[in-house]
Structure 1
Amino acid sequence: MSKPEILVTDRFIPVVLDGLNSAFVTHELWKADDPEAVLSSVAGNIRGIAAGHTIPFNADFIDRFPNLEIIANFGVGYDNIDAAYAATRNILVTNTPDVLTEEVADTAIGLMIMTARELSASERWLRAGNWNGPYPLTRGTLRGKKLGIFGLGRIGKAIARRAEAMLMEVSYHNRNPLADVDYRYFATLTELAAHCDVLLCAAPGGPATRHIINTDIFKALGPEGMFINIGRGSTVDETALIEALQNETIMTAGLDVFEFEPKVPQALIDMDHVVLLPHVASASQHTRDAMGQLQVDNLTHWFKNGAPITPVAETPWPRS
């Protein structure tokens, strides 16, 4: 029996490329000098796609593949894929949840501490040879502070558990309250921001959350407030964030994601008290290998057993 043909859009890590090349006939788009020519020649044969984040999987792109059965995304976020449209064509979409939850939660807590205590700035200060006297006392602290989490999913809950161990009060905002947690729920993001000292975004991207964190939210958070984002950059109006930081509407921010990655606004780079990370929340070899293996497993499991392992919410697949 011939191997299924799949399209590989990105230069993935070895565990992904090795796994895919052993199980499938692969067409590696990222290698092509003329990607359009490759797509035109193989689109009719493609039954699966190993998707990264370099190509927007909109309806027009998806429709180029008449025999497509599954899009396996690398990463838990899949706002680059129109999963709802894929569902209308009975195309499965999978992502890689759970395997990165704890790593991202660790990074979120680390970023929050770095931001509150100016750890990045103080290290730069030391390296610049300025330790002739004590580093100025930091205005920020997490002692006695209230953490508000926007997006209490798998990752949000893992962050909340860690914050509880730090003796922080935890509250949250989702579209609806959750039955399996005791944290205080706020029906609106504005109410959550007004209540908390640290607003942490762990929400997904997409049209429903685009720029949901805006001027009004920063005003509600207030001049002693700290904003942390390990969710998606598209959730934040970056112009409003820059203005809030420049005008001291909020105290500081720690960001692992940005709206137009890898482009980071120069105004943010110029702010020494703001902590900026290059989207590294899940970026350990251990965790990325686990994510890659799950991406491969979703594809191999589908073609071998006729079932996805981790289908996304929009995918037309029976839920247990």
Structure 2
Amino acid sequence: MTRHVLTTIPLPPALRDGIARHYHLHESASDFGDGAPADVEAVVTNGSIGLSAAQMDRLPRLRVICSMGAGTENIDIAGAHARGIVVTNAPGANAATVADHAIGLALAVARGLRSLGNRLARGEAWASLRAPRASLNKSRVGIIGLGQIGRMVAERAAACGADIGYHNPSPKPGAPGTYYADPLELARNSDFLFACCPGGPRTRHLLNREMFQALGPGGVVVNVARGSVLKTDDLLEALRAGQLAGAGLDVLEEEPEPPAALLAELTGMDNVVLTPHISGRSPAAILVQLDMMLESLEDGLAGRPPRYAVRPSAPA
């Protein structure tokens, strides 16, 4: 029996081909309208694009929703549960890759790995560019969100000789560094501030004008969480005014098609390093995601409880 799977997001070739070897894969834009095949039994999406209850209702045979990563913030999990649809994710599959990328962004901004090469290419004098630059060694690193990614960022930063602080809804047993109940207090005590938290309403615009002022003109902010976590207008204001040393951004509030003017301004700043939401993409991470997704699809379509099922949250 042929099983039909619909993806609402662009998939890396290895992931797409891996799913297509086992299922009839339909590829579609995020808003698939009324043209979705009626025999689709599973949807592959991610936390950023998600899947609404209205979209679920257009798929009468839908039984499984698989999020490609750990995030599920824009999937209506309660709506899926009410319809008897299983939601799964891939917790931790790409955590190490995201943590590597986060450290890379921080160093690229602080050490000028992009800007110095460009300035040399423009003919600026070698000697004029050799001013000392900040590094992770002997720095204070603040981490917002101490899940798997946050812990791995902490491990990598500590290995570079940084002091670690973190903010989380509550202290984590055995966590490295100092716990800050107030994120503003964490920012005041950080040179580098990493966002590694989930997206969604609770963290929307957590990185804002107040946080940037608390971090200060020597501070570097790195966002590998969700674009919604950082208030873009406030970041631009801080960067224009010299109130931050720089920013490393793998995610933006409007993706995958950010406003052209925003991209032009960010990419024109020597103290900003921008990547197109690729922090979790490595060959190794994609293979792990594929294995987890195929297991979830097989179990969910067979009526077995998937190991990586996501339950609806309790009311706040």
TM range (shorter): 0.7 to 0.9
1:257 aligns with 2:251: yes
**Rounded Cα–Cα distance in structure 2 between residues aligned with 1:189 and 1:84:** 29
Q: Deviations over 1:235-258 (max 9, x none)?
A: 011000111111122221111111
How has the CA–CA distance of structure 1 residues 183 and 300 changed in structure 2, closer, same or farther, with 3 Å as cutoff? same
Q: Give secondary structure in 1 for the equivalent of 2:35.
A: helix
**Rounded Cα–Cα distance in structure 1 between residues aligned with 2:313 and 2:294:** 18
1:301 aligns with 2:290: no
Q: In the alignment, residue 158 of structure 2 is paired with which amino acid?
A: E
Q: In the alignment, residue 137 of structure 1 is paired with which amino acid?
A: A
Q: Deviations over 1:106-141 (max 9, x none)?
A: 111111111111111112123334354352414433
Alignment of structure 1 residues 226-265 onto 2, 5 Å: 226-261=220-255, 262-263=257-258, 265=262
- Say whether the 8 Å CA contact 1:10–1:54 is kept in structure 2: no
> Which residue in the other structure is 2:270 paired with?
272
> Which residue in the other structure is 1:13 paired with?
12
- Say whether the 8 Å CA contact 1:87–1:315 is kept in structure 2: no
Q: Give secondary structure in 1 for the equivalent of 2:181.
A: coil
Q: In the alignment, residue 258 of structure 2 is paired with which amino acid?
A: K
Alignment of structure 1 residues 99-114 onto 2, 5 Å: 99-114=93-108
- Say whether the 8 Å CA contact 1:218–1:249 is kept in structure 2: yes
1:38 aligns with 2:32: no
> Which residue in the other structure is 1:174 paired with?
168
**Rounded Cα–Cα distance in structure 1 between residues aligned with 2:120 and 2:52:** 48
Structure 1, 130-139 or 115-124: larger mean CA deviation? 130-139
Q: Give secondary structure in 2 for the equivalent of 1:119.
A: coil
TM superposition shift of 1:68? 2.1
> Which residue in the other structure is 2:289 paired with?
291
Q: In the alignment, residue 93 of structure 2 is paired with which amino acid?
A: V
Q: Deviations over 1:268-304 (max 9, x none)?
A: 2221122222222122233223323322222123224
1:224 aligns with 2:210: no
How has the CA–CA distance of structure 1 residues 88 and 194 changed in structure 2, closer, same or farther, with 3 Å as cutoff? farther
Q: Deviations over 1:159-199 (max 9, x none)?
A: 11111111111111111111231421111211111121211
TM superposition shift of 1:93? 1.4
| Count of equivalent residues | 310
1:60 aligns with 2:49: no
How has the CA–CA distance of structure 1 residues 189 and 54 changed in structure 2, closer, same or farther, with 3 Å as cutoff? closer
- Say whether the 8 Å CA contact 1:13–1:292 is kept in structure 2: no
CA RMSD of aligned residues (A): 2.6
1:23 aligns with 2:31: no
TM superposition shift of 1:206? 1.3
1:149 aligns with 2:143: yes
- TM-score, normalised on structure 2? 0.88
- Say whether the 8 Å CA contact 1:255–1:275 is kept in structure 2: yes
Identity %: 34
- TM-score, normalised on structure 1? 0.87
1:3 aligns with 2:2: yes
How has the CA–CA distance of structure 1 residues 12 and 239 changed in structure 2, closer, same or farther, with 3 Å as cutoff? same
What are structure 1's unaligned runs of at least 5 residues?
A: none
1:282 aligns with 2:277: no
- Say whether the 8 Å CA contact 2:86–2:300 is kept in structure 1: no
How has the CA–CA distance of structure 1 residues 86 and 186 changed in structure 2, closer, same or farther, with 3 Å as cutoff? same
How has the CA–CA distance of structure 1 residues 20 and 142 changed in structure 2, closer, same or farther, with 3 Å as cutoff? closer
Q: Give secondary structure in 2 for the equivalent of 1:98.
A: coil
Q: Give secondary structure in 1 for the equivalent of 2:201.
A: coil
Q: Give secondary structure in 2 for the equivalent of 1:7.
A: strand
**Rounded Cα–Cα distance in structure 2 between residues aligned with 1:278 and 1:15:** 19
**Rounded Cα–Cα distance in structure 2 between residues aligned with 1:144 and 1:253:** 19
Q: Deviations over 1:50-109 (max 9, x none)?
A: 225785412211222333221011122233322233233332211222221111111111
**Rounded Cα–Cα distance in structure 1 between residues aligned with 2:79 and 2:174:** 31
> Which residue in the other structure is 1:207 paired with?
201
How has the CA–CA distance of structure 1 residues 22 and 143 changed in structure 2, closer, same or farther, with 3 Å as cutoff? closer
